[in-house]
Amino acid sequence: MRVAFLLGLALLAGCNDNNEATFKDIAPEGTDLEKVVEDIAPPPVAIEPEAVSESDMDKDQITGDSCAFYKEGSETPVVIMHDTSGVMKVKGKTAPLASDAGAEPIFGSVKPKYVGTEFEVEIRPSARGTGADSFAATAIARDGADRTVWEAAGELRCRMEAS
């Protein structure tokens, strides 16, 4: 009932002439707004990335330096990243990713964060480098509400584009 009341107040706030009132402005004092949002938001849905290969990417997107993330104990990567794009496969469907252009590269021109339509992937390597290198790393996928839906330790294998 409390959630319905607060949602109603939020809708009313959006109806004023100058749209200055926010949900925070009209909520009763002491309301834990994060708890209200948590109560009405659907729970995060865990994902399990599948093996992916270069053939899962559009050939036009395979450019420049590259890195591939391998989960511990796996011989096939679950995330492949290039200069401006990457790919991950979930439930048999390829999920194209775009690099976060503002992020500092982790290897050559490969960025640590890639964003897709359903989730974003962040790679946290133990080191940053150049040349043909391999690093221990952690991969984290988050949904649109910035909630972790997958995390794995593994190895990041990178190579520089031949010039």
* Residue ranges per structural domain of the chain: 2-40, 54-159
Per-residue pLDDT at 2: 46
Nearest by Cα to 69 from 93, 87, 55 = 87
d(CA 69, CA 86): 11
pLDDT tens string 50-74:
999 767 766 656 667 899 999 999 9
Q: Which helix (H) or strand (E) holds 26?
A: helix 23-26
Whether the per-residue pLDDT at 14 is higher than 70: the answer is no
Mean pLDDT is lowest, of 32-46, 92-106, 128-142, for 32-46
Share of the chain above pLDDT 90, in %: 45
pLDDT for 116-150, tens place per residue? 999 999 999 987 765 558 889 999 999 988 999 99
DSSP bridge pairs for 90: 93
